[in-house]
Chain A
Amino acid sequence: MSTATWPVLVALEEALTDDATLMGLLAGEGVYARVAAGALPYVVMGSSTEQDGAPAGAGAFGREGNEGTETLHCWGRTIAEAKAIYAEVHRILHNQPLTLTGPEMLTGAVSYLTDQPDTESEAWQVVARYRWLARESA
């Protein structure tokens, strides 16, 4: 199967920015790629991983499938704010497979990886992992 990372990224950004509750918690554009260009609080879409032919169900029904992850950084002015943003991200994405352009997403799950303070300010981030399985469309 060809890579699904880009369709997943596009769908992820749409799912997050289309949610009024989440966007109500964020400042400016709210969702950024790699590193934020605006004021806190915000969500940064970080690094991606993808493996071809993942074994855990992605290739079911004779179709090729891939497994991948996206790292989501939920930045708040306090740890409480960062956790509130993470809670909304979890609500939006966890067990809610996204509609992709091209491949078909089978599962999408959000997990809490860690949290840590910033070195530059009083801000905190919750680092979340979004794990997905996708296969080629029928």
Chain B
Amino acid sequence: MRVGFRFQVRRAEIAAAFARKSEAAQQEVAEIIQQSGLRMHAMAGELCAEDTGYMKSHLGLAYSADGGTYQSEVGWTEADFVAGTHPRTKAHPPFYPPFVEFGTSRNAAQPAVTPAFEAEAPRVRTEIAAALARAMATE
């Protein structure tokens, strides 16, 4: 189980735009996805609710460019919440970030990843569109 958001561009999805285009253009899109992940991770870290700091310290960032898919992902993974690592309980901490991010019936949500994703999404769209336009113009 995990909670998080990711930006993902598959080469197949933009094959028409990238057809016969340069590796440089594809690398530019890959760089955009990578940088957006870094910004999203930084913003989510700033917004992350902090008590013991355990959740904030386990906020993850993953980037991959395998098989023509460029992907940045920010969030929490259940496997990272392991026994003996929580500064307060020392026991196996429950995977609680979803209940902080989205709230419970008694506690208001304290979102970190959601607003970071929403803040980043328009910028990613704009930058990818501009990169594609530049690639098409140089044809």
CA distance A7 to B83 in the complex (A): 47
Interface 9-residue window, one of A20-28, A51-59, A91-99: A51-59
A69 at the interface (CB under 8 A from B): yes
CA distance A49 to B109 in the complex (A): 14
Are B105 and A75 within 8 A (Cβ)?
yes
CA distance A49 to B112 in the complex (A): 11
Chain B 83-126 interface 0/1 with A at a Cβ cutoff of 8 Å (1 = within) = 00000000000000011001111111101001100110010011
Are A120 and B122 within 8 A (Cβ)?
no
Number of interface residues of A (CB under 8 A): 28
CB neighbours (8 Å) of B108 from chain A are 34-35, 44, 46
Looking at A47, A54, A67, the one whose CB has the most chain B CB atoms below 10 A away is A47
Q: Which residue of A lies closest to B123 (CB)?
A: A51
Q: Given A47-B115, A51-B119 in contact, is the A56-B109 Cβ separation under 8 Å?
A: no
* Interface of chain B, main secondary structure: helix
Looking at B99, B102, B106, B114, the one whose CB has the most chain A CB atoms below 10 A away is B102
CB neighbours (8 Å) of B98 from chain A are 114, 116
CA distance A123 to B126 in the complex (A): 40
Chain A 26-49 interface 0/1 with B at a Cβ cutoff of 8 Å (1 = within) = 000000001110001000101101
Are A116 and B99 within 8 A (Cβ)?
yes
A32 to chain B, nearest CB (A): 10
CB neighbours (8 Å) of B99 from chain A are 116, 119
A-B contact pairs, 21 of them (CB 8 A): A35-B107, A36-B105, A40-B105, A44-B108, A46-B103, A46-B108, A47-B109, A49-B115, A49-B118, A51-B122, A56-B122, A67-B122, A71-B111, A114-B3, A114-B98, A114-B102, A118-B105, A120-B104, A120-B105, A120-B106, A125-B103
Chain A contact residues, CB within 8 Å of chain B: 34-36, 40, 44, 46-47, 49, 51, 54-56, 67-69, 71, 73, 75, 113-114, 116, 118-121, 123, 125, 127
Chain B contact residues, CB within 8 Å of chain A: 3, 98-99, 102-109, 111, 114-115, 118-119, 122, 125-126, 129
